[in-house]
Structure 1
């Protein structure tokens, strides 16, 4: 596959930072959150409240730092070998010749989501959207994250090719989970995204995890009243 480094995106939006919630932007009059938050939501919704609404900061874990280092190394290698392209041109050219890109930015103001796809394969017959994760377990939270990338890509391009969501073991070629982005999957991820917006606008409560193992390993446990009651 051709390697294309997407450096330019078509439509530009007026962006404002949310006055109270760190990380949330206001795009076209609607709250817009990072798609990676869907991974946090599946782990523990209350984490989002502590970090982004209360503004609590904690040091990165060794696992987080290691993951970022691997990610940056792969990105630097890719940029050295890839050809610069606009998003629109890369999508259009892939209908004839397969290509791959990394750190592809997607945004869907209608659904209030945005993020960077780790890797995307654009082939004449299909689009494969890949998110790199440590380990080989497809958790509901990580599946939801890559499904939301699919939704945003579809909304940006209105491409009628089949879209697949995939999870890959970080630092390897092992795609350990893959699914077709069907209308039913799209319906499910829209429902999850709607819940996230309910958390952000205060219409739904943040529900803490009930898994004590998650609590014990949480970076925010010393600030969490739910952990202290356990």
Structure 2
């Protein structure tokens, strides 16, 4: 597949920072959160409250720093050989010839989500959306991230090709989980996204984890009244 570095998008939305929730934006008049927050939500919803509602800051863990370094290495290596193109050009050309891109931005004002896809394969017959993760275990939170990327891509493009979401072991070619983005999967992720919006607008409570192991390794354990 031809490598294409997407550097230009034709989208132009009205964007504002949310007045009270750190990292939340208002896009086209609706709250919009980063898709990566779904991973935090699956780990512990109260972590979202501490970091984004109360504004508590905590240093990155060694695992986070290491993961960011590997991610940057992969991105830099990709950019060396990739052709710079627009998102729209890539979409159109991929209907006849497969291409691969990294750090592809997607946004869905309708669903209130946005994010950067680690890697996307655009083929004439299908779209494959890949998120790189450490390890080889698919967790509900990481699967939900990929599902949200699929939803945002579908809503943003209106493309009729089949979409698949996949998790890949970081730094390898090992796709250890792959799932077609069906109507049932779409309904499921929309339900979770609606819950996320309910957390930030105050209509749903932040539920802390009941897993002591998660509390022990949490960056916010010293600021959390629910820590075990």
Superposition deviation, residue 14 in structure 1:
1.3
Match of 1:220 in 2: 220
Q: Deviations over 1:131-186 (max 9, x none)?
A: 00000000000000000000000001111111000000000000000000000000
Superposition deviation, residue 119 in structure 1:
0.2
Q: Distance in 2 between matches of 1:64 and 1:80?
A: 25
Match of 1:71 in 2: 71
Q: Distance in 1 between matches of 2:214 and 2:65?
A: 19
Q: TM-score scaled by structure 1?
A: 0.98
Q: Distance in 1 between matches of 2:52 and 2:189?
A: 22
Match of 1:5 in 2: 5
Map 1:3-152; keep pairs closer than 5 Å. Answer: 3-152=3-152
Q: CA RMSD of the aligned region, Å?
A: 0.5
Q: Distance in 1 between matches of 2:156 and 2:31?
A: 17
Figure out how many residues of one structure are paired with residues of the other and give that number. 228
Q: Deviations over 1:100-158 (max 9, x none)?
A: 00000000000000000000000001000000000000000000000000000000111
Match of 1:174 in 2: 174
Q: Distance in 1 between matches of 2:54 and 2:71?
A: 29
Superposition deviation, residue 11 in structure 1:
1.5
Q: Secondary structure at the match of 1:225?
A: coil
Q: Secondary structure at the match of 2:226?
A: helix
Gaps of 5+ in 1: none
Q: Distance in 2 between matches of 1:130 and 1:62?
A: 24
